[in-house]
Amino acid sequence: MKIAVVGAGIAGLACAIAMADRGHAVDLAERRPEGRSEGAGVILWDRACRVLDGLGLLDSVAPRAEVLHGLVRRQLDGAAIDTFDFRGGGNAFAALAVRRVHLVDAMTAAARQRGVTLAFDLPAVSVLAEGGVDAPAVLALGDGRRVEADLVVGADGRMNSVVGARVRGIARVDQGLVTWVASAPSLGDRLGQVAVDLWGPGARLGVVPCGGGGVYWAATARADLVPATRPWRETVQSLLPGRDGLVRDVLAATPEDAVHRHDLFDLEPGGPWHLGRLVLVGDAAHASLPTTGQGAAEALMDASTLAGLLPRSPAFETLNDALGRYVGAREAAARAGVFAAREVARRVFGPPSAR
């Protein structure tokens, strides 16, 4: 089949690689310039590593990642809320923390090697036709071209998915949270191989070692606690005045231009995820709040499930059946993920009685 993928995030690149591996001709359009991946880092849990291994990518990602031994969740006074040991449990793969730019770069290189045609700095601007029995799907690109495809994969994220707007309409929900994410080149050996999750009233800081002494971190707070004009460092420090100086040290180790602020949205669960010859994957289908850190794993699961179900021939009935089976295989888990992430948000950012 001729497949057009929109978006070179984790979902889009994994789809492109897995589909090219199965003999499909894949074109991918990404609006950002190459090498400028948004976000700081991700934890790749067992099921995410399993997909990356199946795509032949784990060997190039693992050397640039940190093997995480566990996570400690603490209150501001240092008291442990709970601890998690990632080393047991019979998982085939260790939990790996990796900077997003390293993961996306490795995936981009693999997609090129598999013959995927990649175009950066090239947004999809609209879906001209969803396609059907005797008609291809048609996309309009930012350079004025029209692309016809047997299948268009919408991997264009949670905020303004062009494919999602056609398939399901706008479904994003502002969850009233603000987050700052960044990588810091070095925090020394302070954390070892253990991530820290610090909970204060209405605010939280997660710090994750991600290889080479570096960390990535995300500080999140209820939007009503964030003064509009106050510099972000002062805001984070005042919301999370941890006793052990971790917050201070993380902020001091972070260059100003490494920090990105986001208002946090998720998508209202539910479908549809496919229409005609259009299908959604990753955050475009089912974005959850980042409070549980499962978005990358869900995106990889979507890609491997969808690619594994696609028929070789573009006949519409068979394709439509495969898209239905993909949704059937993934929708319940994705829905549960959205609700689980909202529940964690309620516990962390809600009133103390919610904890």
Ligand X SMILES: Cc1cc2nc3c(=O)[nH]c(=O)nc-3n(C[C@H](O)[C@H](O)[C@H](O)COP(=O)(O)OP(=O)(O)OC[C@H]3O[C@@H](n4cnc5c(N)ncnc54)[C@H](O)[C@@H]3O)c2cc1C
Write out the residues near ligand X by the rule CB under 6 A.
6-12, 29-32, 39, 42-43, 123-124, 155-157, 162, 179, 181, 218, 262, 282-284, 290, 293-297, 299
For residue 347, the minimal CB distance to ligand X (Å) is 17
Beta carbon of residue 263, minimum distance to ligand X (angstroms, whole number): 10
Name which of 154 and 313 has its Cβ closer to ligand X. 154
Can you list the alpha helix ranges (DSSP code H) found in 243-294?
246-252, 283-286
Minimum distance from CB of 49 to ligand X (Å)? 12
Nearer to ligand X, 123 or 214 (CB): 123
Cβ burial, residue 116 (10 Å; 0-12/13-18/19+): buried
- The candidate with the shortest Cα–Cα distance to 197, out of 305, 318, 296, 70, is 70
Helix (H, G, I), strand (E, B) or coil at 13: helix
Cβ-Cβ contacts under 8 Å for 230 (sequence gap 6 or more): none
Q: Which is nearer to ligand X, 6 or 187 (CB)?
A: 6
Smallest gap from residue 124 Cβ to ligand X (A): 4
> In the complex with ligand X, which residue's Cβ is closer, 95 or 246?
95
CA–CA distance from 174 to each of 91, 113, 203, 261, 262 (Å)?
35, 39, 17, 15, 11
Q: Which is nearer to ligand X, 71 or 251 (CB)?
A: 71
Q: Distance (Å, rounded) from C-alpha 81 to C-alpha 171?
A: 34
The alpha helices in 89-146, defined as continuous H runs, are 100-113
Report CA Rg, the chain.
Answer: 20
State the nearest-atom distance from the C-beta of 180 to ligand X, in Å: 9
